[in-house]
Structure 1
Amino acid sequence: MILPNETTVAVVDGTRLRLFRNRGHEPQIDLLELPEPTIAVENQGSGGRHHSSTANPDTSRLAEDNFAAAVADHLNRQVLSGEISTLFVIADPRTLGELRRHFHDTVRAKLVGDLAKDLTAQDRQDIERILAKA
Structure 2
Amino acid sequence: MILPNGAHVAVVDGEKLALFQNAGHADIELKALPTPEIEDRVSGAPGRISSDANPDNGTQAEDGFAMGVADVLNHMILTHRVEKLLVIAAPKTLGQLRKGWHKETESRLVGEIAKDLTGHTTDEIAAAIQKA
Same fold (TM > 0.5)? yes
Cα distance in structure 1, aligned partners of 2:19 and 2:116: 14
Report the counterpart of residue 129 of structure 1 in structure 2. Answer: 127
Cα distance in structure 2, aligned partners of 1:56 and 1:121: 29
Q: CA RMSD in A?
A: 1.6
Deviation, structure 1 residue 93: 0.5
The normalised TM-score by structure 2 is 0.92
Report the counterpart of residue 85 of structure 1 in structure 2. Answer: 83
Cα distance in structure 2, aligned partners of 1:112 and 1:71: 18
Cα distance in structure 1, aligned partners of 2:54 and 2:91: 18
CA contact (8 A) 1:20 1:31 kept: yes
2:9 counterpart SS class: strand
1:120 counterpart SS class: coil
Cα distance in structure 2, aligned partners of 1:9 and 1:107: 13
Report the counterpart of residue 24 of structure 1 in structure 2. Answer: 24
1:21 counterpart SS class: strand
Q: How many residues align?
A: 129
Moved over 3 A (4+): 51-54
Report the counterpart of residue 58 of structure 2 in structure 1. Answer: 60
Q: What amino acid sits opposite 2:37 in the alignment?
A: T
5+ long unaligned stretches in structure 1? none
Deviation, structure 1 residue 42: 3.0
1:104 to 97, 102, 105: 102
5+ long unaligned stretches in structure 2? none
Give identity over the alignment, percent.
48
